[in-house]
Amino acid sequence: MLIYLTMCGSNADSSKFELLYKNYKASMFKIANAILKNVDLAEDAVQQSFMKIIKNLHKIDDVFSNKTRALIVIIVKNTSIDIYRRRKKNYAVSLEELAIEPIDTNMAPPEFVISEESAELMKSNISKLPQKYSDVIILRYFYDYSNAEIAQMLNISNENVRYRLHKAKKSGKPEQIW
């Protein structure tokens, strides 16, 4: 952990990272191990995920929020799947299979003012999307990450991010989702 703290820079960032590390390391390992089914690979996935989190540490306001937890889950899940794919296997795990709590519907995109009914409809439509599309939609519109930041977090190209966003919007009924 000392290596991570030296990468953080300021004392405030170091304190924030330390809280993240202590509060989420065990659950991150559990998610990674559920996907990889290998303790050593799961540890590697957690370490790589923390490196990605450090790069985006300035965007985390509240360490204990559902928004932060969801972001961490997405990062560790995608990092684990990338490691698994690098080992030349095809496997995908949904959040439902991992028994992870769904993302809070109170985290609406800031550019929309939506009713609770609209939020439920949006949540329902997003949950019907394939995981690779729903992750990109959530990161882009709920967390307001840029396409380049999403590409970096998910280890995909900017073009792939744009394609996934386009396909996600097109696969649902845009007038109901957006």
* Maximum distance among all Cα pairs of the chain, rounded to whole angstroms: 49
Q: What is the pLDDT of residues 42-93, one digit of tens each?
A: 999 999 999 888 888 888 888 888 888 888 999 999 999 888 888 754 444 4
Q: What is the pLDDT of residues 108-158, one digit of tens each?
A: 444 344 556 666 777 778 888 888 888 888 888 777 788 888 888 888 899
**For residue 44, what pLDDT is reported?**
93
**For residue 43, what pLDDT is reported?**
94
Instruction: Give the DSSP letter of residue 140.
Output: I
Q: What is the pLDDT of residues 85-111, one digit of tens each?
A: 887 544 444 444 444 444 444 444 443
**For residue 46, what pLDDT is reported?**
94
Is residue 18 within 8 A of residue 1, CB to CB? The reply is yes
